[in-house]
Structure 1
Amino acid sequence: MIYLDYQATTALAPEAFEAMVPWLRDDFANPHSAHAGGRRAKAAVEVARAQVAALLPPGGRVVFTSGATEALNWAIKGTCGGIVTLASEHAAVLDTVEAVRCGGREALVLPVNRDGRVEPDHVAASGTGLVAAMLVNNEIGTIQPIAALAARAKAAGAVMLCDAVQGFGRVPLPHGCDLIAISAHKIHGPKGVGALWIRDGIVLTPLLHGGGQEEGGRSGTLSPALCVGFGVAALLAQDRYAPDAAHADRLFDASLDRFAARGWMLNGSAEHRYKGNLNVRRDGLDVARLMSQLRDIAFSAGSACASGSGRPSHVLRAIGLTDTQARTSIRIGFGRYTKEADLIDATDRIIAAADAQRVAA
């Protein structure tokens, strides 16, 4: 299997796996218990918290969650006032915004341009309590002008929420945000753990009520193993930042050149993007047939979170593609453990299979 679906999830780093094993097998104590075993587990959680925090801005605290979906729900539901967000956001944001809008909060969903970027000056200057925007789009890789959006939010007296799930550990995190949602399994950590970074002075209404185990109002027993795996993955992302970025750039250029030579078109910004994400389309392509023919290549027709819905991608429609164009697009994601030879082989096979469809038609 050639795995090219890094936006959906990444392989668990061997170093993270090894670090997790003792906390799964031997040191199983509750990190919120006062006895010696609990204190050891608590200490491991705090080391992990510091490792994750090292990739985030100063002046805030990392609160562990079950994942980015919980973190985003908490950030949105835990604030008040009107909401401004983007049409290309993840469903975890758009669906949550719609839920609170039905509950009485005002919400404005801003359009994006053909590159998938928003104009910061379109952020409303009054009645806004929260501005929510994704740093790196999970479907097309476009990078939003988060720093400019944060400045507009601050000028309006609003809180700035950044969904940094696809950008954390991969691209620089801009300062100026008040809330940042992240996830472990996008940076070679385990599934089932994420975090919400909360700027000092920001107070959120709790999403989960109970023991209040996490400072900041998050209740629930933490898994030391998951937190430790997240911490080690964050440490690796920090140490490997430059080589990982350079590797993704090389892979992107090599694959895109091949697609472009055969008439495929890039979706999203060519300039403002994370290059571990390659979303391309070709008129007349039957994506379902393509994926069926290439079962040993793991790539995507869109977000894994929306797979099986049968609907064309809301992100691709937001950048102006027709339903037909959106349905003829594929997403290829790669990174640290992708071998260039494998990516080139997969690219050539995808192109050949697509060419065969055209001949057959």
Structure 2
Amino acid sequence: MAFHAAGDGETDDSKAFEETWNSACSDSGGGATVYVPAGRTFLLGEIRLQGPCKSPITVQVDGDIVAPNSLWKQKPSSLLTFYRVDNLTVDGGGQIDGRGAPWWHCYNQKKCRYRPQLVSFSFCNDLRVTNIRLKDSADKHMSLYECSQVQVHNVSIMAPGDSPNTDGITMGASNHVRISSCNIHSGDDCVSILTGTTDVNVTDVTCGPGHGISVGSLGAAHEKPVLVERITVSNCRFFNTTTGVRIKSWQGGRGIANGLLFRDLNMTEVRYPIDINQFYCPQRNCPEREGGVAITDAKFINIQGTSSRQEAIKIRCSKSVPCHGIFLDNVDLSWANHTAPTKACIENAQGSVAGTVKPQVRFRGP
């Protein structure tokens, strides 16, 4: 407000935000705070908050932020972008609302090529995002690109289950990421982990509606060799999602996804609770290609609950690059509202089982 923001939800406050950021970022007193006060609503357009800053910086979002209630950008963008800002904390009980409904309609009509994301972090190290609420992004809600040492805790993300591509948290080329105690309802992946990402821990996340927690998609045409490794998803709950935990890659890709642990998970009427798919093709018209991203050392341990279809486990790997080191232990998945047992589909995968595994899984070998 000191930089002449209106805070009435109708006046564009972008300039005030940028001026406040520039002042805080240039403060060398040991730490500055950009304060978004409670009880007010701030209308923003496309904002890019850039570093490096002279000291650690906090954005305290206690009030609400809204995007324009229109189709306001026709090129790739984000409502809020933090670029090359180290030692950044974004905190507060306020809400950032992307007002995405006009965009979803435009996309479904095949009239919008680009849609803005809500909050993007690029090249940000030592990042903390806590307690904020994100709602109705036109596209992805939160993205992390080339970020290191990230903590996302107690963040709420809400969008309708039929809103297109509204991923909750997506990350690429990032490392040492911790996501905990988040509640994510979206029209796509609750969390998606893309190429170049290592050492991720996702725990105590409630997901649904949405498409589950995904590694990938990986290895799209013409991509460089991909690498995703040391990913742990634990103590999460899934409600009425299309998949629970999945690994998805395109035919013809290159690279490796290795060291993936999914444990202590609860599924409630999830279409495919466990899903590995080396034939990912959302348009369903992809040509057959040799090769693929190698999937190795993927463990599924202590996974309980129900599937909404009889085929509760799908592990479909390619003949040219079979999956290796798949391990299941103490898996108990029943078919919701049916007495018939669940089934598993296993193609070109080598692995082993321990304890009780329902549905029954047969691998070709270890």
Q: Hey, which of these two has a bigger chunk of strand by percent?
A: 2
TM-score (norm 1): 0.22
